[in-house]
Every structure is written in structure tokens, then in C-alpha cells.
Amino acid sequence: MSHLPDGIRNRRSVRKYEDHRVPKEIILELLEAAGWAPSAHNAQPWRFIVLDDGQAKTRLAKDMAKAWAADMAKDGIAVEPEMFRLRIERFAEAPALVLACMSMEGMTKQPDTERQGVERDLAMQSLGAALENLLLAAHTLGLGACWFCAPAYCREAVRAALKIPEKVEPQALIALGYPAEKSVAPARKRVGEYCFLNQWGAPLKAQRNKKSS
């Protein structure tokens, strides 16, 4: 019998939303939840931009779609007009978007490239923890949300659209709204398939309670 909270087991990625705005006070609660995540050196390297204005969402969605189409063209793939339209609608029609960015401000400045790269990894891990807090809080408050990594593929387009400083990295986009679909949980691996005991490859198995004689 699992003792995990229902919020962890029941959270799903939701991509379709009711045509209702998300109150700003609720979005602020989600961002506060994100801010309570652990972070390396307590640097709190997350930065968030909330988009709830239709024009702002559409402008960002179009610029990201253009960057995506340009990338596809480099690979010799022509994007169909319908796919281009759907790419824009995915973000433009979400009631609210939260752009998650990473800042190295407050992280340790290491003397060599290798260790500085580790600092960047730590900042990214910290941002991931903050995003998971945000997603769980959204589920708890009755919202649907979906984590998209698209900004990481078109950082310059996102920077230009939202006037983001060069030292701040756009990393992910969270779409938010009240669910208009019931998402089905994708297949999950069992713990024994991705966890080991004491060394790589050694099975980690739950111990069965032995009955006392």
C-alpha cells in the first residue's frame, strides 16, 4: 500500500483549458510555492515572467513558432501551415503562461570551466525543483498545467519578445488554466526498473514483512 500523497499520484499534464482566466492571486500562490523549493547555495536562481495578456501571449507564441520552423528548415523539413497554426494556438490560447528562466546571479563563481559548468547544472537542478513545486501547487488548487521545454530551443527569440537580459536564460514555459480534459496517466516504470541498491545494477527490492513465529 502506497503512502504517497494523492497530489503526487494524480497530477497530470493538461493541455486543454476552459475559457476562464486564472486569478492573479492564485498565480502568485503558485509562484510562492515555487520559491519555497530547495536551491544550491540558497541562490534561488529562478526568475519567472507571467503572461496573461492575449497580445503578449500571441506575440511570444508566434516568435517561438517562427524559430521552430526555421530550425526545421535547417533539417530540410517544411512545416505545414496547420502545424504552424497549432504551434501558436498551444500557447496563445492558454489562459496564462509562466516563463521560467535561470539566473546565475548568486551562484558560486568557480575558477575553472569545468567547475563553473557544474554550477550551471546546480542552478538548472534548482529551477527544476521550483517548477515541480509550481506544478504540484497548481494541481492542489484545481488548475491544470503543462511543462513545455520549447523556450530552451529558441532562447534568443524569447529574449527578444520579452526583453530578457542576456545573462538570464529562458528555460521552460508552463501553460496554466482550468482543465477542459481528463488526462490519462502515461505508463510509469516500476521503482525496481530505475533504482539500484548500494551500486549500479544491484536490484532494489522492497522487503516483505516476516511473520513472527
Which grid coordinates belong to 86?
497549432
Name the domain count of the chain: 1
In a domain, 212, yes or no: no
In a domain, 28, yes or no: yes
Structural domain containing residue 24:
6-188
Tell me the CA distances in angstroms from 123 to 61, 100, 102, 118, 194, one per residue in order: 26, 12, 7, 9, 24
In a domain, 109, yes or no: yes
Look up the CATH number of the domain holding residue 94.
Answer: 3.40.109.10
In a domain, 167, yes or no: yes
pTM of the model: 0.91
In a domain, 68, yes or no: yes
Per-residue confidence of the chain (213 residues) as pLDDT tens digits?
577 788 888 899 999 999 999 999 999 999 999 999 999 999 999 999 999 999 999 999 999 999 999 999 999 999 999 999 999 999 999 999 999 999 999 999 999 999 999 999 999 999 999 999 999 999 999 999 999 999 999 999 999 999 999 999 999 999 999 999 988 878 889 998 999 999 999 999 876 555 544
In a domain, 117, yes or no: yes
In a domain, 35, yes or no: yes
